[in-house]
Amino acid sequence: MPQSQTINRRIVLASRPKGAPTPQDFRLEQLDVPTPAEGEVLLRTLYLSLDPYMRGRMSDAPSYAPPTAIGDVMVGGTVSRVVTSRHPKFAEGDLVLGGAGWQDYTLSDGRDLMSLGNAPHPSYALSVLGMPGFTAYHGLLNIGEPKPGETVVVAAASGAVGAVVGQIAKLKGARAIGIAGGADKCRYVLEELGFDACIDRNDPDFARQLADACPGGIDIYFENVGGAVLDAVLPLLNDGARVPVCGLIAHYNDQKLPPGPDRLPLLMGLVLRKRIRLQGFIILDHYADGFAQFYRDMSGWAAAGKVKLREDIVDGLENAPEAFMGMLQGRNFGKLVVRVADPTGS
């Protein structure tokens, strides 16, 4: 049980970033720990997930979710322990998945919580068994529809989504080609995750190496980065290729469009001539329909060691902004998670 404290630290959005976020865009505040009312629980955050989508919430550009207001707590998925329960379905000490955001404590009426029981690896609820894993599963299987022998390419292949995409592709009999930043990440993707190849996107010869790794072209490109990776992928797409679009991290800090020529007609022409399916998705839309099936499949695969994931654990809530800013530049290695409190409670 975490020791009881009286201060709730939280990180709020101080200003909307122009381009890459800076430390000044975040502010650490200290408030009193709130007290649960009847029907509520008080939660102590153990793990906070840091994910690229959070960059979108910091902006007020039109998007699929309303922006975080200036002064509000940064959003984020969390694994927490119940400190005090005034809710009949939760007991003190219970481990739950929720969305407390970037703070030590929060209250909940339980409706946004999923009990984690005695999960052997609770932080996986934020990655393999959570939103990133579900993103990979839904995008690859329901939009990508991989067939045995097809070639699947995914960038950020050592990250939470990319790593799972490639491992599911292998389970389905497809070839998995990863793209990652640096030799260490590539070695991990190849040797630990079992991809068929992994190309270093920092290599000046990157585009040619990708082409060499895909001698039969690309049937599925799982898009989570955009930028130079997409540019290298486009000429390799096969007739009938599927491109699930789940993220464009290379562009999240863009303040204006890149210089010309305008390649929008080029992309449209490629979609037409190669009968490409380009489909965006936001995983929040699919929980009601698909999460239960995903969770069953993925729990089995994870327990059997067929899908695994390196975690990049950062200690201390106060380090979340720096870790987040680094992630947007690819400095994390594996799923980025902030350990906000010692999960053993000691």
Nearest to 160 by CA among 324, 323, 312, 302: 312
Q: Find the shortest distance in angstroms from Cβ 31 to a second copy.
A: 33
Pairing outcome for strands 114-115 and 95-98: antiparallel
CA distance 215 to 236: 9
Instruction: Give, as ranges, the residues between 213 and 242 that touch a second copy (CB under 8 A).
Output: 223, 226-227, 230, 239
Which of 96, 276, 320, 327 binds a second copy (CB under 8 A)? It is 276
Instruction: Give, as ranges, the residues between 279 and 308 that touch a second copy (CB under 8 A).
Output: 279-282, 285
302 CB neighbour count, 10 Å cutoff = 21
Stretch that binds a second copy, among 95-103, 120-128, 154-162, 260-268 (CB under 8 A): 260-268
Q: Find the shortest distance in angstroms from Cβ 20 to a second copy.
A: 16
Q: Find the shortest distance in angstroms from Cβ 234 to a second copy.
A: 9
Q: Find the shortest distance in angstroms from Cβ 159 to a second copy.
A: 17
Task: State how far Cα 120 lies from the chain centre.
Answer: 21
Nearest to 102 by CA among 162, 16, 14: 14
60 lies in the binding site for a second copy (CB under 8 A): no
Peptide bond just before 132 cis, omega within 30 deg: no
Q: Find the shortest distance in angstroms from Cβ 261 to a second copy.
A: 4
Amino acid at 324: F
Amino acid at 31: L
Determine the size of the site formed for a second copy (CB under 8 A): 42
Q: Find the shortest distance in angstroms from Cβ 222 to a second copy.
A: 13
Amino acid at 217: G
Stretch that binds a second copy, among 11-19, 39-47, 59-67, 128-136 (CB under 8 A): 59-67
DSSP string, 270-283: HHHHTT-EEEE--G
Binding stretches for a second copy (CB under 8 A): 62-64, 223, 226-227, 230, 239, 245-248, 251, 254, 256-282, 285
